[in-house]
A and B are shown apart, each in its own frame.
Chain A
Amino acid sequence: MQHTRQPCRNEVITRRAGLEACMPCPGIRSGWRDQAEMDLVGGLSSGASLKTRWVIPIIGAFFVSSLTACVSVGGLYSAPGDTGRPAEEWLLRQRAEHEQRAMEEQGLIYEDEQLEHYLTQLARSLQPPEVRKGTSFRVKVIKNTSADALSFPNGALYITTGMLARLENEAQLAILLAHEMTHCNNEHALRALRYCRETVSAGSKLYGPGRGGQVPGALQWGTSPPALEAYLEELELDADRGALQLVLRAGFDATEGLKLIECQQRDLDKEDLEEASRSALHRHLEKRRESWRMLLDRWTQSEPRRLADRETYVAQVHRVILDNALLDERRGRFSLAEREVENYLAVRPNDESAYYLLGEICRQRGLLSDRSKAKKCYAKAISIRPYYADPYRGMGLLYYKEGEKTQARMSFQAYLSHAPAAPDKAYIEKYLTTCN
């Protein structure tokens, strides 16, 4: 969508032959995948997350297709059996259902019924009774290490594993959910669609000279039409205002909203973003932080009734934190993974798999200073579960590289005795030959 230049012959070969799929050749198509993935995810994104970088692309991708259909239909019409419903709303719901089905078919959903139940109940507890009957909210989790959240006009809310892993307590989670729910309650998707529609029909006001009436291919913070960015930013601020009211009414500590935004600002620098987008997002988050601070000044809150402690929250989401740490470790985001595992261990101090994962993170990071920590973690994992094979392997690799052949041999032998059909048996046997 974003890159419209014609590919050269070699690029065509590269793509069609599936070469880029396994190329250690940076830059072939960085950015395309992310865009495509988020197009797939669709929906109206959270302004309360790093996801903000996708607010505009998603709205662009999500609404533009609907918009095209609307324009071709020409005005409002009723869906079959659904008399009187405006065309945009009907199209949005259709589109939302399509996107949600696609996510499920792609296997992007993190399957955990208990977690979904907890999140959905929390969301519903935020919704005041007079509004509750309007939209039935339900929350699902997406397997993705980015800190994102999305909402669809039909009340479906999605949070990524990365976001859940980075939240500090239930109050922050409540604020995030309330923000997304406000997008639905205030029909932001519909408003944004109508805004796009009106602006398109008004010609070049939105898209600038020479692009009047054209549907934008892709929109991104920092590179999108300023008028559209400003409009969407106003929707985000509106979602924050709505979120504040919901969490205050539910008795959560609203000051956690500031910490949430500040955490996103800090994490922004760790994300792979173009400089223009990063700067624009920093400005956007700063504006939201300032707005949240002013709202807090205006609204006096009595003593929060609901706890904001980390332990309560982590007790509910501990498994997803560890699973996300594993995803981060596989992607080589070692600092994030390390932080997540340590947070997890703070409330689950006897989980051997977490110690093993921490050991793996330290070993793979490849720093000399990490080696002793890695060994301690492996040793701790073994002390909790002596027949746990994998930590012996990690330990053996460290000793082997240090030239400690005797200890390496003992570790490798222990590994193979506990996992005689290990997939890397051939490597281990080769190391053992050298050690002997």
Chain B
Amino acid sequence: MRKLLIVCLLGAVSCAATNRAGGLYEDSSRSFSIMIPQGWERVNIEKYLLITRDGPFSHYILVQDFNVDKKFNHTYKRFHRDMLPQETSEVIIDEISSDRAISSFQLCENVPITINTYDGFRLVFTYNTADGTGHKTLYYGFLIDDIFYSIRYNTCNGYNDQRDVASFQEVLNSFKVLHARAM
């Protein structure tokens, strides 16, 4: 009986924490929609949308909307509404490279790109976290009016799954800005 109770509790906790959710994602608290690839699950984190197939310690796709007036964690720089994609990318680079929790930050690429009709940038960078984990990130970002949107794909410790290329592209292509909202 006790074992059954524990199993039930564990089941309840895992259900609450993640959602198997292939298909369209729209949430009233977010100003965007995306298509979640089949087989990927959503991890409930309030500040951003995080989806993964094999677990966030291996890989994840993270989508976030961020008001230009908000402060960053590590840099005092701020977004301005008239910033060019290159300028917003530089703010993001400074934010990441100023983070004292990471080391060996290396920027491999910073190029302009169009993300489903939106002018933005793509960064490719690597870094290590304090526990020694190596990360590689593809970071897409663009600014529309008051909101900065970022879509990133991150892998940990050399995780490599070719299926992810198509999945991430699916997310990028399906990304839509729904409405500007006060965040």
Residues of A in contact with B (beta carbons under 8 Å apart): 9-10, 13-14, 16-30, 32-34, 36-37, 330-334, 364, 366, 397, 400-401, 423-424, 426-427, 430
Contact = CB atoms under 8 A, between A and B. Distances in A.
Given A10-B43, A36-B100, A366-B80, A25 B73 contact: yes
Interface of B: 13, 17, 43-45, 47-48, 50, 56-57, 60, 62, 64, 66, 70-78, 80, 82-87, 92, 94-102, 110-112, 127, 129, 131, 133, 135, 137, 139, 148, 150, 152, 154, 156
Given A13-B43, A24-B66, A25-B64, 13 more contacts: A16-B131, A17-B60, A18-B102, A22-B137, A26-B73, A28-B73, A29-B101, A330-B97, A331-B94, A332-B76, A333-B76, A397-B87, A426-B111
Contact of B95 (A24, A32, A36): A24
Chain B binding surface SS class = mixed
22 contacts: A10-B44, A13-B56, A17-B60, A18-B135, A19-B62, A21-B96, A21-B129, A22-B102, A22-B137, A22-B139, A23-B47, A23-B64, A25-B47, A29-B101, A33-B100, A331-B74, A331-B76, A331-B94, A332-B78, A364-B77, A423-B110, A427-B84
Contacts of B92: 22, 24
Contacts of A24: 64, 66, 70, 72-73, 92, 95, 148, 150
A376 to B, nearest CB: 20
A9 B92 CA distance: 27
Contacts of A423: 110
Contacts of A25: 47-48, 64, 73
B129 A37 contact: no
A18 B86 contact: no
Instruction: Enumerate the 6 nearest inter-chain pairs by beta-carbon distance, A residue then B residue, closest first.
Output: A332-B77, A332-B76, A366-B80, A21-B102, A18-B129, A33-B100
A312 B100 CA distance: 35
A233 B28 CA distance: 53
Contacts of B85: 427
Nearest to B70: A26
Nearest to A424: B86
B84 A400 contact: yes
A9 B57 CA distance: 13
A400 B87 CA distance: 13
A430 B50 CA distance: 32
Nearest to B82: A401
A10 B133 contact: no
A10 B45 contact: yes
A167 B55 CA distance: 51
B57 A17 contact: yes
A401 B98 CA distance: 27
Given A17-B60, A26-B70, A330 B129 contact: no
A26 B45 contact: no
Contacts of B70: 24, 26
Given A16-B131, A21-B102, A24-B64, A430 B75 contact: no
A23 B76 contact: no
Contacts of B76: 331-334
B154 to A, nearest CB: 7
Given A18-B102, A397-B84, A330 B94 contact: yes
A388 to B, nearest CB: 19
Contacts of A20: 73, 99, 101
Contacts of B71: 26
B102 to A, nearest CB: 4
Contact of B75 (A331, A366, A424, A426): A331
B56 A17 contact: yes
Nearest to A34: B100
A27 B84 CA distance: 27
A330 B75 contact: yes
B128 to A, nearest CB: 8
B100 A37 contact: yes
Contacts of A366: 78, 80, 82-83
Contact of B73 (A17, A30, A400): A30
B147 to A, nearest CB: 12
Contact of A17 (B84, B110, B139, B154): B154
A22 B48 CA distance: 13
A353 to B, nearest CB: 18
B46 to A, nearest CB: 8
Contacts of B17: 9-10
Nearest to B64: A24
A21 B57 contact: no
Contacts of A29: 101
B127 A18 contact: yes
Contact of A18 (B13, B94, B133): B133
B156 A23 contact: no
Nearest to A401: B82
A125 B102 CA distance: 40
B84 A401 contact: yes
A21 to B, nearest CB: 4
Nearest to A11: B45
Contacts of A26: 70-73
Nearest to A428: B86
Nearest to B133: A18
A423 B106 CA distance: 14
B135 A21 contact: yes
Given A17-B60, A330-B75, A331-B76, A22 B95 contact: yes
Contacts of A19: 50, 56, 60, 62, 154
